[in-house]
Chain A
Amino acid sequence: MSLSAALKSGDVTLLPGKRDEDWKWTDLRGLLRVLPAAAPTLDLAGLVDGPFDALCDERHVVAGGRPDVAIEVPAGGELSVALRILSRDGGALTGKIGIRVGANARLRLLESYEGDASAYVTDTAITIVLEAGAAVERVALAADGAEGVNVSQAQVTLAPGAEYGQTVITNGARRQRIETQVTHPGAGAKLRLDGLYLLEDKRHADLTTGVLHQDLDGATDQFTRGVVRDQARGIFQGRIVVEEGADRTEARMRHNALILSDKAEVDAKPELLIFADDVQCAHGNTIGALDEEALFYMRQRGLPETEARALLIEAFIGAVTDRIGFEPVRDIARAWAAERLRA
């Protein structure tokens, strides 16, 4: 049951749907009656720059006719890569991206999903392998079209001492799922998984993560926030598994969502599955409206209500973007998010 299998065979019954537990809130089977033909080969001539192109040493494009990308950072190396996934012309795209980061190497992976207004279907599979002591910071901006369907699934494997930080920022699509699965060996490896969804109209975004702690001394820090309005629907599914023997694991998961209209919806499933006893694991989840008392305070200080709301929301999402390590990227992410907010 996967989108890629369905796209490959053209069989819509292979699409994941409501009856698949992990996809119950992101129903593709009920949505897609027919699958589009493969997207035509994209002509790169005249393509305008992506959001991160100026910051990077290497640029890669995944699009119709050019679905595969391989990125390798040699041991001890350092690299900044802009990775653009371009969905166009109502076509189907199955992208495959393989990334290997050698021992003690550093990679800054700056990803952007750029879709046009057509009813495209895009499926991207990303594998990222970090060798011992490697460090990766991945920032993904997902700017899909309102009619697009986009599924991105990343499989991250950490080695001892590796460090992986991720921030996904999205404004949704007709149906969108951005999934990250991490295999965590413990042994001093560090993981940060952040997400932010800013949704309006009838957009849908699903941020799903899974972390498998396999051995001693692992650390995971996860922080997702979302703002939904109109008839939008935001979904957060987080799963942390601590296997038997993975003692001294420290895992934290936070999800906070703001619902700004009566027809918007937020669904959350923060799961902890623990098979070891010497662990510190916690998750917190809140869903609600803006704090009336904070609003009142600001208005009483002379701020107009719309401005007060905007300020509160900005602060709310700022908590996530502030955790991006590299400052120029942080600024781009902040500006990107601010553009997609209206008070």
Chain B
Amino acid sequence: MAAVKQTIEHVESLEKYQHGFSTDIAQDFAPKGLNADIVRFISAKKDEPEWMLAWRLDAFERWQAMDEPEWAKVHFPRIDYQDSYYYAAPSQKKGPASLDEVDPEILAVYEKLGIPLKEQAVLAGVEGAPRYAVDAVFDSVSVVTTFKKELAQVGVIFCSMSEAIREHPELVRNYLGSVVPVSDNYYACLNAAVFSDGSFVYVPPGVRCPMELSTYFRINAENSGQFERTLIIADKEAYVSYLEGCTAPMRDENQLHAAVVELVLMDDAEIKYSTVQNWYPGDPVTGKGGIYNFVTKRADCRGDRSKVSWTQVETGSAITWKYPSCILRGEGSVGEFYSIAITNGRQQADTGTKMIHLGANTRSRVISKGISAGKSSNTYRGLVSAHPKAKGARNFTQCDSLLIGKTCAAHTVPYIEARNGSCVFEHEATTTKLSEDQLFYAMQRGLSQEEAVQLLVNGFVKDVLQELPMEFAVEAQKLVAISLEGSVG
């Protein structure tokens, strides 16, 4: 009967956003609105040094002079930046010394989300099972970071950004804003002014980070925006794999998530950055609510032979505006981008990557799979460029779009700029619907229409799924199925 029960549970969970609950937790808010005082308030809350405040205020000043970008294929009413809270943190007197001091309500949230915050809970698992360290960011602050001690033993620094500013100011000052400059774009600039927390990772030379690192972002408070900043530095010959997950409650108003992620890679370093983005997508029928996900992610391959790999599964958010990029500066450096973007209901996604080849013999690979269903719109927008000095640069890009239903849209907008005679760029793109023949075959073998679609879609995105770390791949596969529930028939 277990199977029957499971089926019933599965059916009940269909078309539901499973992470849409909100939790009542005593929270500190900054006053609503945005001005220089709010920037000072956030900085003061974080006990930041003077240079950090100056950096923020400078960013805020520049942001006021900037215009919101309008070129993306997404439509939404103008955001009122004064109608939002820029800082929300669970109330606590001081930072918790251990997990026991963290508000049990918050722990319950993470338990509900299936995020292991208790080290022993993870350790108690099957012997040899992969472990991963978690930095949990709840609204504006990091509530807990696990496995810090064990990581410190090998020299890896993994902590929240505010802690890094306090404990490792020399590293932060050196690298913060060096990949994504303060005034890079509208949302990155806003982030620089008001970012509240995020993760910081430093992997020293020659160290292979012994476990997966991950950050879990949760927006809980109403009317608040989340602005986190992540900085990962892989020194010479270092390796780290980093995972990022995110969810938010179901609310009728739109909430802004404007994050900045900076990756720095020295000689022979490698970073694998995976994202499973499952923000609340808004109401599928009316399109009301949902997260605006305006994120700037960029990796700077400064060292020779360094390698960065972005893998993303984008299923949530009302609007996604995100282009994880690679600046391939070091000779022989490699950039990879694997992406699955699924839109359903009234979601809009404009996402892709930028591969900027500056050094000789740099290589990049882009595999993007877009799936649109319902009344959604899904755009791949990418840039591949080779500088005159990027002799022997190579790129391969493949972007495939799958359309399910008559009212969705899929767009491919690639930009290719080749500025020297020895680069080789290849790009191919296809847009099709699910093959009737394959569907018929699968259904004739006894699968329901929904199952058949799931099977075909999973096949369609397989190239990307297999790039994900194992624990994420399983979750992502389920997510793909859930995101497409109700899209056929």
Q: Name the segment of B151-159, B413-421, B476-484 touching the other chain.
A: B413-421
Q: A274-B401, A275-B409 are in contact. Are A267 and B428 (CB under 8 A)?
A: no
B403 to chain A, nearest CB (A): 4
Among B407, B416, B428, residue most surrounded by chain A Cβ atoms (within 10 Å): B416
User: Given A269-B413, A274-B410, are A281 and B430 also a contact pair (CB < 8 Å)?
Assistant: yes
Q: Would you list which residues of chain B between 385 and 428 have a CB under 8 Å from chain A?
A: 388, 391, 401, 403-428
A279 lies within 8 A of chain B by Cβ: yes
8 Å CB interface, B406-458 against A: 406-433
| Interface 9-mer from A143-151, A258-266, A318-326 | A258-266
C-alpha spacing A278/B410, complex, angstroms: 12
Q: Report whether A268 and B416 are in contact in the complex, using a CB–CB cutoff of 8 Å.
A: yes
A273 in the interface (beta carbon within 8 A): yes
Which of B415, B418, B432 has a CB less than 8 Å from the CB of A259? B418
Interface string of B340-368 (1 = CB under 8 A from A): 00000000000000000000000000000
- Given A265-B419, A289-B422, are A277 and B429 also a contact pair (CB < 8 Å)? no
Q: Which residue of A lies closest to B409 (CB)?
A: A275
Report the separation of the CA atoms of residues A263 and B423 in the bound assembly, to the nearest whole angstrom: 12
Contact indicator B433/A262 (Cβ below 8 Å):
no
In the complex, A245 Cα to B409 Cα: how many Å?
11
A285 to B428 Cα, complex, angstroms: 6
A265 (CB) vs chain B CBs: closest residue: B419
- CB of A276 closer than 8 Å to a CB of B: yes
CB distance from B421 to the nearest CB of A (A): 5
Is A271 part of the contact surface with B, judged by Cβ < 8 Å? yes
**Would you call A280 an interface residue if the criterion is a C-beta within 8 Å of the partner chain's C-beta atoms?**
yes
> In whole angstroms, how far apart are the Cα atoms of A268 and B415 in the complex?
6
- Nearest residue, chain A, Cβ from B417: A267
**Residues of B contacting A281 in the complex (Cβ-Cβ under 8 angstroms):** 430-432
Q: Mark contacts of A280-291 with chain B using CB atoms, 8 A cut-off: 1 yes-contact digit, 0 otherwise.
A: 111111111100
Cβ-based interface call for A305 (8 A) = no
Nearest chain A residue, comparing its CB with the CB of B408: A277
Residue contact B417 to A265, C-beta cutoff 8 Å: yes
With the chains together, A270 CA to B431 CA distance in Å? 13
B432 touches A280 (CB 8 A): yes
Q: Do the beta carbons of B388 and A263 come within 8 Å of each other?
A: yes
Q: Give the residues in chain A near B425, CB-CB below 8 Å.
A: 285-288
Bound CA–CA A244/B419 (angstroms) = 37
From known contacts A21-B71, A271-B412, infer whether A284 and B428 are also in contact, taking CB-CB under 8 Å.
yes
Q: A272: CB under 8 A from chain B?
A: yes
Given contacts A259-B423, A272-B412, A285-B414, contact A244 B407 (CB under 8 A): yes
Q: Is the CB of A274 within 8 A of B423?
A: no
Interchain CA distance A177-B411 in the complex, whole Å? 25
For the complex, give the distance between the alpha carbons of A288 and B394 in Å: 9
Question: Are A288 and B424 interface neighbours, CB within 8 A?
Answer: yes
Residues 177-219 of chain B, each 1 if its beta carbon lies under 8 Å from chain A, else 0: 0000000000000000000000000000000000000000000
List, in ascending order, chain A residues with CB within 8 A of B407's CB. Answer: 244
B421 and A259 form a contact (CB under 8 A): yes
| B residues less than 8 Å from A244 (CB atoms) | 406-407
B346 to chain A, nearest CB (A): 15
Q: Whole-angstrom distance between the alpha carbons of A268 and B385 in the complex? A: 10
A257 interface residue per 8 A CB criterion: yes
The answer to whether B431 and A272 touch across the interface, beta carbons within 8 angstroms, is yes
Contact A265–B431 (Cβ < 8 Å): no
Contact assessment for B421 and A274 in the assembled complex, using a CB-CB cutoff below 8 Å: no
For this complex, 20 residue pairs linking A to B, each with C-beta atoms less than 8 Å apart, are A21-B71, A259-B418, A262-B421, A263-B388, A270-B412, A270-B414, A272-B410, A274-B410, A277-B405, A277-B408, A279-B403, A281-B430, A282-B430, A285-B414, A286-B426, A286-B427, A287-B423, A288-B426, A289-B421, A289-B423
Interface of A toward B, CB cutoff 8 Å: 21, 244-245, 257, 259-289
Beyond the given pairs A279-B403, A289-B423, 13 more chain A to chain B contacts, judged by CB atoms under 8 angstroms and listed by A's residue number, are A244-B406, A259-B418, A259-B421, A263-B388, A268-B414, A268-B427, A272-B410, A273-B412, A281-B432, A283-B429, A287-B418, A287-B425, A289-B422
